[in-house]
């Protein structure tokens, strides 16, 4: 590694140390931290360093990163959590309820990772069971009934692959959400905040507007899963992260997402307040925009948005005959 690389790594380590120290001792070191962050920023700019896809995967999974609940608390008021799918149980890996965005009541739903290891175990690391998806759908249908916009937060490694999940129809639960979300007559705004893990992420992400945090990732399979299936070597995850084109920038180019929300220098875990502010500003602009749309226009637009996704070539019948 070049000397600037070492310097940068050293700086980042120091920043983290200071943060932990400041929190534990309850003293204000924000001035010191800020000056170090400035320095790190300067080095990055000088070297014109691009963060690699694999580094983004790691940032997206960072335990320090704010969770859905943190964002809801930062951007909304009066959050009232609602529980249960009315069929089997309540899945703590998905959090849902009603809150206010400014004055506007909204239904908020998102994958919930734990804030600590203990919490993370209780939340199953943000990996939902079918009842989580069914709770989400129940509350989205409720939002539809009371004409409330829906905001979803995406942050999951994926739907949980376990015995109970399969017994209770993980595939069916996800499929049903995809079908039903395409027809809800209220605006659905999707925010990919961290990990967008495959079908388990998509099951909350069929919306009118999909925005993504700068360091969030979104793909059909985890880089580790891809590497071990295709190349029989989970060690090639870094390479797979590049091949999967899972960064916000890649997905914006592909037309899969509509906007990228920039993160504070070094990632949103370093300044969650600022991230919350940026997200709130974005949502306060986007949600009213879609609320003004007639439901028929909204639905047609949502259908168009998803039906055009994909890449292929098309030989016409005439050409086909010639080539045969």
Partner 1 sequence: MALFRKTRFSQVGTREIKNVPKNIASKCPECKHVHIEKDLSQKLKVCDRCGHHFSLPAKQRLKQIVDEGTFRETDPGLTSVDPLEFPGYAEKLEQVREKSGLNEAVITGFGKLEGIELGLGIMAPEFMLGSMGSVVGEKITRLINKSREKKKPLVIFSASGGARMQESIYSLMQMAKTSAALARFSDAGQLYISVLTHPTTGGVTASFAMLGDINIAEPGSLIGFAGPRVIQQTIGQKLPEGFQRAEFLLEHGFIDRIVERKNLKKELALLLKFHQGGEKVG
Q: Which residues make Cβ contacts (< 8 Å) with residue 161, sequence separation at least 6?
A: 170
Instruction: Name which position in 128, 199, 267, 276 contacts partner 1 (CB under 8 A).
Output: 199
Element (H, E) at 227: helix 223-230
User: Computed from CA positions of residues 145, 209, 213, 282, in that sequence, does the dihedral angle turn out positive or negative?
Assistant: negative
DSSP at 247: B
Which of 97, 105, 169, 288 is in the footprint of partner 1 by CB under 8 A?
169
User: Residue 162 CB, nearest distance to partner 1 (Å)?
Assistant: 6
The answer to whether 108 and 76 are in contact (CB under 8 A) is yes
Residues, the chain = 324
From the list 32-40, 117-125, 161-169, 271-279, the region that binds partner 1 by CB under 8 A is 161-169
Of 15-23, 87-95, 287-295, 299-307, the segment contacting partner 1 by CB under 8 A is 299-307
Give the three-state DSSP class for 82: coil
Task: Select the residue interacting with partner 1 from 190, 226, 279, 298 (CB under 8 A).
Answer: 226
What kind and span of H or E run contains 198?
A: helix 198-202
Exactly one of 143, 218, 266, 270 binds partner 1 (CB under 8 A); that residue is 218
Task: Tokens for 162, please give them.
Answer: 């376990």
Q: How far is the CB of 18 from partner 1 (least distance, A)?
A: 37
- Which residues have a Cβ under 8 Å from the Cβ of 252 and sit 6 or more positions away? 212, 258, 259, 260
Q: Which of 16, 58, 138, 176 binds partner 1 (CB under 8 A)?
A: 176
Does position 95 interact with partner 1 (CB under 8 A)? The reply is no
Rule CB under 8 A: which residues touch partner 1?
Answer: 159-163, 165-172, 174-176, 178-180, 182-183, 198-199, 202-203, 205-206, 218-221, 225-226, 229-230, 243-246, 250-251, 254, 256, 302-303, 306-307, 309-317, 319-320
């Amino acid at each position: 590694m070049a000397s600037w690389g070492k310097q940068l790594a050293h700086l980042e380590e120091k920043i983290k140390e200071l943060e932990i120290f400041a929190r534990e001792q309850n003293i204000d070191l924000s001035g010191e931290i800020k000056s170090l962050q400035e320095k790190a920023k300067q080095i990055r700019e000088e070297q014109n360093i691009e963060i690699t896809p694999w580094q983004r995967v790691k940032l997206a999974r960072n335990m320090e990163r704010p969770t859905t609940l943190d964002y809801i608390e930062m951007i909304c008021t009066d959050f009232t959590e609602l529980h249960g799918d009315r069929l089997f149980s309540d899945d703590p890996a998905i959090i849902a309820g009603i809150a206010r965005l400014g004055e506007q009541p909204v239904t908020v739903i998102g994958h919930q990772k734990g804030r600590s290891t203990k919490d993370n175990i209780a939340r199953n690391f943000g990996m939902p069971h079918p009842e989580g998806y069914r709770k989400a759908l129940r509350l989205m249908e409720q939002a539809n009934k009371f004409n409330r916009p829906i905001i979803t937060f995406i942050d999951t490694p994926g739907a949980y692959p376990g015995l109970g999940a399969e017994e209770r129809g993980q595939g069916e639960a996800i499929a049903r959400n995809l079908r039903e979300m395409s027809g809800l007559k209220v605006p659905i705004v999707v925010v990919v905040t961290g990990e967008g893990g495959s079908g388990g992420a998509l099951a909350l992400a069929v919306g009118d507007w999909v925005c993504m945090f700068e360091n969030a990732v979104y793909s059909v399979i985890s880089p580790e899963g891809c590497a071990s299936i295709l190349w029989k070597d989970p060690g090639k995850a870094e390479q797979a992260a590049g091949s999967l084109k899972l960064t916000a920038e890649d997905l914006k180019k592909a037309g899969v997402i509509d906007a990228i929300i920039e993160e504070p220098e070094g990632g949103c875990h370093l300044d969650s307040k600022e991230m919350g502010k940026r997200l709130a500003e974005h949502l306060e602009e986007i949600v009213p925009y879609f609320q003004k749309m007639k439901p028929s226009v909204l639905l047609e637009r949502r259908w168009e948005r998803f039906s055009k996704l994909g890449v292929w070539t098309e030989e016409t019948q005439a050409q086909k005959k010639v080539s045969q």
